Amino acid sequence: MKKLAELLFIAIIAISCNAKKTDLEKYNIKGKVWKIQETSFKGDEKFGKYQIGDKNYYGHSLYIFNEIGNLIESQVLDSKAKPKDISKYTYNEDNLCKEISTLEDNELKSKQINSFQGQKLIEVKLFDKKGALENTYRYDYRGDVITHGKILNKLGKTVNTFENDISDEILNSQTVKDSINQVISVTKYKRNKNKDIIETLSIYSKDSAKYKYTFDYEYDKKSNWTKQYNFDKEGKIESIKVRNIVYYNDLKIVRNENDFIGMWFVIDNNNWFEFRKDKKYDSGSSDKITKSGNWELDIKQQILTLRANDPDDSEKYKYQFEGNQIIFFTINGEEDGRLEKR
């Protein structure tokens, strides 16, 4: 299944691999985006509403884009938002991604080399950390979209092929076959009016097994999704993915006291803060309040003061907003933690 997932991922991303579209456009992201952090949580339903549960151990990512909209770095994050591996993207003079290097613990883990014919991606070679070829992906086009492709092993033998059913540069379905041209699986996709996937149905020929997953979304003012609700084949909420989207012009926005008001959650644990309009705050873990007091804001210096009821617990931080997150720094400028509004 892992190999098929890798094949599907490259096929979807490569549907329109010419320089006419930026990576933001290929990922269906609007606006001038700098960073996107995705965090996966367990999902629950209470009183008719979907609730964010504990953080999952997997499914966390960070994407960084340059000012023209191309991906320059992606990270797989652990449950504490620390990078497990980092992929860096290198572009040629035609603004096409020619190489992706993936690092783990600052050491090369793998490398992807892309080959182009004009502005079309026609071949991808994947190498391990020692520089040995692992797999090769080759693509065939109709116009500017990939309709067929195949994956070869290190000996150059075809192990899988795929066919894409595409209309208006949107992938409707994908058929994956084995080395003797027998169908392994057919996966169909449905999308909403924002062109985000709301249903996948995969049918495996060997045992006629069917895997159906559905999705729902919440969006920001630019029509980029900020919450993705993932449902299992019975239609029950399974997980909720939360996106923190940072736009380039966010850094120019002056934040005021109203931007602090509400519930905030610590990124890497179950602690929370609630800032209220009456300038009082509570903080705690799960359903327990462990600290209370008053909060003050120096907008000019960008300093937040938390005056706890116990003076020994009072704290002072510099702060900076990134999308739906507040980054806290010590007065000396060292990052001390992050809060996220969900």
In the structure, what pLDDT confidence band is assigned to residue 298 with cuts at 50, 70 and 90?
Answer: very high
Give just the sign of the alpha carbon dihedral 54, 56, 59, 65.
positive
Stronger pLDDT, 65 or 7, i.e. the higher one? 65
Q: Is residue 304 within 8 Å of residue 317, measured between CB atoms?
A: yes
What are the DSSP E strand ranges found in 192-314?
197-204, 209-219, 225-231, 237-247, 262-266, 271-275, 280-285, 288-298, 303-308
User: What is the share, in percent, of the chain residues with pLDDT greater than 90?
Assistant: 77
Mean pLDDT for 265-273 is 88
Q: Between the CA of residue 335 and those of 215, 318, 324, what are the distances in Å?
A: 35, 9, 17
Q: Between the CA of residue 50 and those of 22, 219, 319, 341, what are the distances in Å?
A: 34, 16, 31, 16
Arch. (CATH architecture) of 253-340: Beta Barrel (2.40)
Domains of the chain: which residue ranges?
A: 2-248, 253-340
pLDDT for 224: 97
The domains spanning 2-248 and 253-340 adopt the same CATH topology: no
Q: Is the pTM of this model over 0.75?
A: yes
In the structure, what pLDDT confidence band is assigned to residue 46 with cuts at 50, 70 and 90?
Answer: confident
**pLDDT tens-digit series, residues 9-26:** 444 444 444 456 889 998
Give just the sign of the alpha carbon dihedral 14, 16, 22, 28.
negative
93: its two tokens: 């003079």
Q: Which residues contact 140 (CB under 8 A, 6 or more apart)?
A: 146, 147, 148, 149
pLDDT for 168: 84
**pLDDT tens-digit series, residues 232-268:** 988 999 999 999 999 999 888 889 999 999 999 998 7
pLDDT for 19: 52
**pLDDT tens-digit series, residues 149-196:** 999 999 999 999 999 998 888 889 999 999 999 999 999 999 999 999
**pLDDT tens-digit series, residues 53-64:** 989 999 999 999
Question: Which of 12-16, 317-321, 336-340 is the least confident region?
Answer: 12-16
Mean pLDDT for 79-87 is 92
Query: At residue 4, does pLDDT exceed 70?
Result: no
Q: Alpha carbon 304 to chain centroid distance? A: 30
Across the chain, mean pLDDT equals 90
35: its two tokens: 């960073």
In the structure, what pLDDT confidence band is assigned to residue 7 with cuts at 50, 70 and 90?
Answer: very low
Residue 111 φ then ψ, to 5°: -145, 140
Stronger pLDDT, 251 or 219, i.e. the higher one? 219
2-248 CATH choice from 3.30.565, 2.40.160, 1.10.10, 3.30.2420: 2.40.160
Stronger pLDDT, 87 or 233, i.e. the higher one? 87
pLDDT for 20: 66
Query: At residue 104, does pLDDT exceed 90?
Result: yes
